[in-house]
Chains A and B, each alone.
Chain A
Amino acid sequence: MAAPLPEVQLATAAPPPLPSLVNARQLRAQRLGRALRLWVPAGIIILILAMCFLLPLVTTLPSSTNGNIIYNNEAPFSPGHWLGTNVQGVDIFSQLVYGGQVAFEVAVSVTAIGIVIGGTLGVVAGYFGGWVDAVLSRVLDVLIAFPALVLALVIAEGLGPSEIHTIWALSVFGIPAVGRITRGATLTIRGLPYMTAARLAGTRSWRMIARHILPNIMPIIVTFSLLGIGVVIILEGALDFLGYGIPAPTASWGNMIANGQQILSAQPEYVLIPSIALLITVASLNMLGDALRERWGTQ
């Protein structure tokens, strides 16, 4: 039954040229590029955070809510008012700083609520599966199916405008988003052999979640929250703009844009300044999230 193998003509053609080796300079440039992609947005965020939260502590800024009508419509770079004042004579830079505080407070709270409530729901749904998963997933689906801003508007309308109510209204959008992500991540981890191995060792469910699932889905949650904070800052601005967010005298980026748009054609800087602040913040958060995602190899 053992038949001789057919004669095979050995290929003598020259092998294809090897791909050129990456030279050291290219490699260095790559490494530098990766470092810059992470640290430039991170630096900008740190700068913005320092500006919003540290600056008011070390220097006395003009009031961000009350202005003196004498100083109304000061141009940027006027003495005492770095970015000028608005129609009511309120300092623009102060508004930017205190508005930034509000934006970060709201965004971080919403994301934290999303991680705690949405994350718990997602992990429980993904880990236990079965009817638990079916019920929780449907609840999350229903929340996701609502247009986020409209739902937030309804809640803000019902509860009345205030910072804490804005946080709750936006959480309705944050909870299902985080829930979905954590559920998916949990499902992926749950199928891996080390989960079976842990089960085989006789590990209890709560311990499996705490020791094996949470540490492994952390990178996904962290990158997602950075993107989430950016989205929440925009939504918060939109709510303010529509008058359903932070109530009027308190400074916020959305309120600044809303006030500025009344005289947009005459003095566009009142809209441009908070818009640019918003743009830089959200873009940096997105870039930071992407850089971390690249570094941790999560998708």
Chain B
Amino acid sequence: MTDALLQVDDLRVTFPVGGREVRAVDGVSFTVEPGQTLAIIGESGSGKTVCCRAIMGLLPAGTAIRGSARLRGSELLGLSDAELRRHRGSDVAMVFQDPARSLNPTMRAGVQVAEAITTHRKVSKREASTQAVELLRLVRIPAAERRFHEYPHQLSGGMRQRVMIAIALACRPKLLIADEATTALDVTTQAQIMELLLDLQKELDMALIMISHDLGLAASYADEVVVMYAGKIVEQAPATQLFGAGGAVRMRYTRALLDAIPHLDRPAHTQLPIVGGRPPDPTALPPGCSFAPRCQYAEDDCRAKMPTLAEHTPSHRWACWHPCEEGGAA
């Protein structure tokens, strides 16, 4: 475990909301190996974004963060802004969901890339500009020299996200966090950006944390998949073990998510199964399994006692009292 790039241990984040505590992230642990792609899957409010923002030190003051997150052995949590600045950009970078508003509208695209370079390295303005054009080429922006001088409003959504990726890559980070980086884009652009991220990941040998609510995306691109529900990890396994031949999803929630994906081979005019109900109120979580109220297979013990996340089969961890049968669909 010493060679892990990022090791998150028992991360707990609570927000004070109107005198009550909201447990946004509740005991999350995972590791990211160098060069690995980790997908964190979950619906809105499951704590996936809060988790990564806690690691990056982006949560507002007054948030209680416990646990540890070590980047190559050095603790990230509890660092001051000045100390974090050394890691931000150079070790860990992040790409957001909304490329339209992630670029400063009053600065030329290339200048913003160049600025990311000069922030961390002592290089001349001219040298930074040349490197910025290089980066724009790296993220496959056609006519990079021309795009360098354009303002964000002149670029398309996919192009802006490429510029964001170029900025994130400016200092060759070891870890890139993509927070729903492709959600705001249309499907073809989405695929291009994902391919680009994976190619760059191989080229630059960096690890990638992909936050998404799209199980299909995780299945096709990730090495390791973490499924979160109500602030907890409910299932974790290598993607091949979850979605590959002979592999199986065991946790009922992951199964339900998987069933909700439309398939071409499904008979026409049949209703798509949905996960009924709503995610639980984080201020009033049920005493048992937090998915129990929405689970078709919940029994009395599910409602009474919380299942713990345990490694039931090698490298496959899940938290469920009555998991799906191995190899079989529910």
Which residues of A come within 8 Å of B, CB atoms? 1-5, 130, 192-194, 196-204, 207, 211-212, 215-216, 218
Closest-CB distance, A170 to chain B (whole angstroms): 31
Complex contact B119–A203 (CB within 8 A): yes
Complex contact B119–A193 (CB within 8 A): no
Complex contact B98–A201 (CB within 8 A): no
Within 8 A of A (CB), among B112-153: 115-116, 119-120
B270 in contact (CB, < 8 A): yes
B93 surroundings in chain A (CB, below 8 A): 200-201
CA distance A207 to B112 in the complex (A): 12
Complex contact B170–A201 (CB within 8 A): yes
B58 surroundings in chain A (CB, below 8 A): 196, 199-200
Complex contact A215–B107 (CB within 8 A): yes
Which residues of B come within 8 Å of A, CB atoms? 56, 58, 61, 85-86, 88-90, 93-94, 96, 98, 101-107, 115-116, 119-120, 164, 167, 170, 266-267, 269-271, 273
Interface-centre pick from A192, A194, A201, A203 (highest chain B CB count, 10 A): A201
Complex contact A5–B88 (CB within 8 A): no
Complex contact A200–B56 (CB within 8 A): yes
Closest to A205 in B: B81
Given contacts A207-B119, A211-B107, A211-B115, 15 further A-B contacts (CB under 8 A): A5-B269, A194-B104, A196-B96, A197-B94, A197-B96, A199-B88, A200-B58, A201-B93, A201-B115, A202-B86, A202-B120, A203-B119, A211-B104, A212-B104, A218-B106
Closest-CB distance, A6 to chain B (whole angstroms): 10
Closest to B269 in A: A5
Closest-CB distance, B79 to chain A (whole angstroms): 13
* Selected A-B contacts with CB under 8 Å, 23 pairs: A2-B270, A2-B271, A2-B273, A193-B98, A193-B101, A194-B103, A196-B58, A196-B96, A197-B96, A197-B102, A199-B88, A200-B93, A201-B119, A202-B86, A202-B120, A204-B85, A204-B119, A211-B104, A212-B104, A212-B107, A215-B106, A216-B105, A218-B106
- Give me the 7 closest cross-chain CB pairs, A-B, nearest first: A2-B270, A215-B106, A202-B89, A202-B88, A193-B102, A201-B89, A202-B85
CA distance A4 to B86 in the complex (A): 58
Asked if A202 meets B104 with Cβ closer than 8 Å, knowing A3-B271, A4-B270, A211-B115, the reply is: no
Complex contact A3–B270 (CB within 8 A): yes
Closest-CB distance, B80 to chain A (whole angstroms): 13
CA distance A289 to B165 in the complex (A): 39
CA distance A201 to B93 in the complex (A): 7
A211 surroundings in chain B (CB, below 8 A): 104, 107, 115
B164 surroundings in chain A (CB, below 8 A): 197
Complex contact A4–B89 (CB within 8 A): no
Closest to B267 in A: A2
Interface-centre pick from A130, A193, A197 (highest chain B CB count, 10 A): A197
Closest-CB distance, A216 to chain B (whole angstroms): 6
B170 surroundings in chain A (CB, below 8 A): 201
A215 surroundings in chain B (CB, below 8 A): 104, 106-107
CA distance A76 to B98 in the complex (A): 65
CA distance A130 to B271 in the complex (A): 52
Interface-centre pick from B56, B61, B116 (highest chain A CB count, 10 A): B116
Complex contact B101–A194 (CB within 8 A): yes
Closest to A196 in B: B58
CA distance A215 to B108 in the complex (A): 12
Q: Which of B105, B106, B167, B271 contacts A201 (CB 8 A)?
A: B167
B115 surroundings in chain A (CB, below 8 A): 201, 203, 211
B105 surroundings in chain A (CB, below 8 A): 216
CA distance A5 to B272 in the complex (A): 10
